[in-house]
Structure 1
Amino acid sequence: MICQKICGFGAAFGLLMFLGCENGPMENPEWPARYPASGTVNYQGKPIEGADVTFTNLTAGSTGTGKTDADGKFQLTTYVENDGVVAGEHIVAIRRVDVVDNTPADVDLSAGGEAVPPTITWIIPEKYSNSAKSGLTATISETEPNEFTFDLE
């Protein structure tokens, strides 16, 4: 009898946890207001897939990120998927690299084997990966559409 009650409670708790996790994180009232923001990244006139896009509002101490799809499009997330970013001036970084692991497959790193440094190939110029040096900015509005196009050369 006791086992049935404990098992029943465990199953109910597990179901609640599953349903809670399925819905993702809940909104926190302490989080600042965020506004939807999205855009497109092109390099030399072509959309860039797999680029990491970062908007940083230094005044608010807040950062939102997104990743470009096959069409170079991104949506920004601060806390909850696609929730946007805080209003105001942002400095922007865009990073796209390919990393090739050069360590041979037969090297056992857990047994003291040494890794070979990877090969990093910048798909877009490295300068865009540093928001302080990229020269890219964006202003997030509370009322206007926040759609940005970054044409990188």
Structure 2
Amino acid sequence: MLIPLAFAACTAKRSAGLIAASLAFTVLTGCGQPEEPRPELIPVKGTFAINGKPAEGAMLVFHPANGEEFDVRGTRPRAIVGQDGQFSMTTYQSDDGIPAGEYDLSVLWFDNPDSSNPHDKLGGRYAAPGKSNLHVSIDENTTELAPLTMAGVRLATRRPRTDSADFDQVD
């Protein structure tokens, strides 16, 4: 009776090993799908100000003006404005650029984006494409955009918290 049990244990270990190896091979090689082709990216920089001051931390999202996608994931080029008002375009990896095309911009400007409850200083008024009235055209020769500005913008104030359970949270 010991021989059949030992044989069964050995066979089970071998089967488990084959399954694990097969799974590892599948994970490492992917599902056989070819990698999606990405558009050529153009490194572009610019500046952004609201009411004449650099909008540090504002996020600009570039939406294709014609509504067409340049990849199947619907990726949107974006930029985060620095302390001096400057930004670099990011599509897939930090500062990698933007595909050529026409874009309508949306703008979000959170007071503390790392918070569990961030507050958009613009009150969400410019979160949809076209609402900011900012439009840019990118071609293969574009390296720097003309300064982007929004004037006469009323900043939204954060309403004080009324739920005492939130008073221990730091935003």
Superposition TM-score, scaled by structure 1 size: 0.61
- Within the alignment, does 1:32 sit opposite 2:30 as a pair? no
Asked if structure 2 preserves the Cα contact closer than 8 Å seen for 1:56 and 1:91, the reply is: yes
Aligned residues: 111
Asked if structure 1 preserves the Cα contact closer than 8 Å seen for 2:110 and 2:118, the reply is: no
Partner in structure 1 of residue 108 of structure 2 = 95
Partner in structure 1 of residue 68 of structure 2 = 59
Q: Summarize the Cα distance change of 1:45–1:101 in structure 2 as closer, same or farther, 3 Å threshold.
A: closer
Structure 1: give runs of 5+ residues left out of the alignment.
1-27, 104-117
Q: What is the deviation of 1:123?
A: 2.6
SS of aligned partner of 2:98? coil
Superposition TM-score, scaled by structure 2 size: 0.55
Structure 2 residue corresponding to 1:48, chosen from 33, 55, 64: 55
Please, what is the CA RMSD of the aligned residues?
A: 2.8
Of Structure 1 and Structure 2, the greater strand share is in 1
Structure 2: give runs of 5+ residues left out of the alignment.
1-34, 152-171
Higher Rg of the two aligned structures: 2
Partner in structure 2 of residue 144 of structure 1 = 142
Q: What is the deviation of 1:31?
A: 0.8
Letter matched to residue 135 of structure 2: T
Partner in structure 2 of residue 111 of structure 1 = none
Which shows bigger deviation, 51-60 or 74-83? Answer: 51-60
Q: What is the deviation of 1:40?
A: 1.0
